[in-house]
Amino acid sequence: MNIIQPVFDDVVRAYSIVKKHANRTPVLHSQSVNSILDSSLFLKCENFQKVGAFKFRGASNAVFSLTDEEARHGVTTHSSGNHAAALALAASMRGVPSYIVMPENAPVIKKKAVEGYGAKITLCPPTQKDREATQARIQEETGAVFIHPYNNFKVICGQGTASLELLEDKPDLDIVIAPVGGGGLLSGTLTYVKGFNPNIKVYGAEPINADDAFRSLRDKTIYPSESPKTIADGLLTSLCDLTYAIISTKCDGILTVSEKGIVDAMRLIWERMKIVIEPSSAVPIAAIMEHPQYFKGKKVGVIISGGNVDLDSLPFGKYL
């Protein structure tokens, strides 16, 4: 299969669209965190992005790249999380409808958020097969354009704009690290960072309880994500052909982390930096804590993917 991969200039072109609609998020650092981890961390804080996550970058690039004819019938996707909200908001900003398929067991707070951005939600049984089948039916009925959460060229390029801004602010980084689930964020990060400076190492970070990306790269085949049990609920999906092609050729490694490490990292950032990050965002911090040999004395850019947390289910104290 001949897979067309995005290149550096594709991310630059995406930024000409994304910067008109997305927030330019801050890059924060903390002397106390740096001292604890014996490295210089620069956090690209996508928890301050619209919808509270990096997903808005990819969604806005995909939606605003459509021609008027393509966008006329709106957009559709299946998602229970940040992509659903991001696509709904981007569609609303473009003035076109959005049709979101969500599993019946999706948190009420997420359903309300997606509805609040103007989407029409269709609920389905909580299986991948049902999600895909329902979305296909909605697409056929409406004529809407399907925007996949990560198996989409424009989405990946949009996600790479977080690294573009990071390296505009901190061009002399030694390492960039991002979480990996389906691989859209890591693929966009790799595309831009390696094009900017191939000597900058780029790592993915993944829960050991959902380590399909780690195993996929190790064994040179795509493993599905089967029954992952991790607090990092944004990292439950598996790589696709496009993200695997990018990550397997450009990534310097996938580092896996424990559940306790995720909670400890999340708590460290909450306590020392006074910012809210979600468990998936804490996974790269956990990787720095649990694999210090890669990061000691280095300047490290960390993509903080989001800050959407269920405040009624905080994990602090669980692993004490």
Average pLDDT over residues 76-80: 89
Residues 244-270, mean pLDDT to the nearest whole number: 97
- Whether 274 and 187 map to the same domain: the answer is yes
The structure tokens 């990534």 sit at 251
The verdict on residue 2 lying in a domain is no
Residue numbers of the domain that contains 167: 8-53+153-313
pLDDT exceeds cutoff 90 at 24: yes
Same domain, 191 and 69: no
Assigned token pair, 27:
């890059």
Separation CA 72–CA 77 (nearest Å): 16
Residue 29 and residue 68 share a domain: no
The answer to the question of residue 1 being in a domain is no
Looking at 146, 172, 199, the residue that finishes a domain is 146
Phi/psi at 204 (5° precision): -100, 155
Do 92 and 233 lie in a common domain? no
Asked if 130 and 201 sit in the same domain, the reply is no
Instruction: Tell me what pLDDT residue 228 has.
Output: 86
Does 318 reside within a domain?
Answer: no
Assess whether pLDDT exceeds 80 at residue 175. Answer: yes
Q: Structure tokens of 309?
A: 């947390």
Alpha-carbon separation of residue 93 from 50, 198, 249 (angstroms): 12, 36, 36
What is the CB neighbour count within 10 angstroms for residue 33? Answer: 20
Which one-letter amino acid corresponds to residue 98? Answer: S
Q: Are residues 123 and 100 in the same domain?
A: yes
Place of tokens 């981007």: 90
When pLDDT is cut at 50, 70 and 90, the band that residue 237 belongs to is confident
Both 128 and 237 in a single domain?
A: no
Evaluate whether 36 touches 268 at the Cβ level (below 8 Å). Answer: yes
DSSP state of 295: T
319 part of a folded domain: no
> CA–CA separation, 200 vs 295, rounded Å?
12
Q: Are residues 30 and 46 in the same domain?
A: yes
Domain stop point among 146, 170, 199: 146
Which pair of structure tokens corresponds to residue 318? 């669980």
Neighbours of 237 (CB within 10 A): 24
Residue 18 has pLDDT above 80, yes or no: yes
Residue 110's alpha-carbon distances to 88, 90, 222, in angstroms, are 12, 16, 29
Domain membership of residue 200 (yes or no) is: yes
Q: What is the mean pLDDT of residues 272-285?
A: 97
283 found inside a domain: yes
Average pLDDT (27-55) is 97
138 plus 158 within the same structural domain: no
* pLDDT attached to residue 110: 80
Q: How many domains does the chain have?
A: 2
CATH for 208: 3.40.50.1100
Residue 66 or residue 312, greater confidence = 66
Residue 78 DSSP SS3 = strand
Same structural domain, 108 and 163: no
- When mean pLDDT is compared across 3-17, 129-143, 152-166, 182-196, the lowest value belongs to 129-143
Which tokens is 311 given?
Answer: 């405040």
Kindly report the average pLDDT of the chain as a whole number: 94
**Beta carbons of 175 and 109 less than 8 angstroms apart:** no
Q: Residue-wise over 212-231: b if at least 16 C-beta within 10 A, else e?
A: bbbebbeeeebbebeebebb
Mean per-residue pLDDT for 35-43?
Answer: 98
- Determine the average pLDDT of the residues in 282-295: 98
Last-in-domain residue among 92, 114, 146: 146
Assess whether 123 and 161 both reside in one domain: no
Considering the domain architecture, whether residues 275 and 251 belong to the same structural domain is answered as: yes
pLDDT band at residue 318 using 50, 70 and 90 as cut-offs: low
pLDDT-based confidence at residue 111 (cuts at 50, 70, 90): confident
* Residue 240, Ramachandran bin (φ over 0: left; ψ between -120 and 50: alpha; else beta): beta
> Residue 3: inside a domain, yes or no?
no
The one-letter code for the residue type at 144 is A
Tell me the pLDDT band of 1, cut-offs 50, 70 and 90.
low
Specify if 224 maps to a domain. Answer: yes
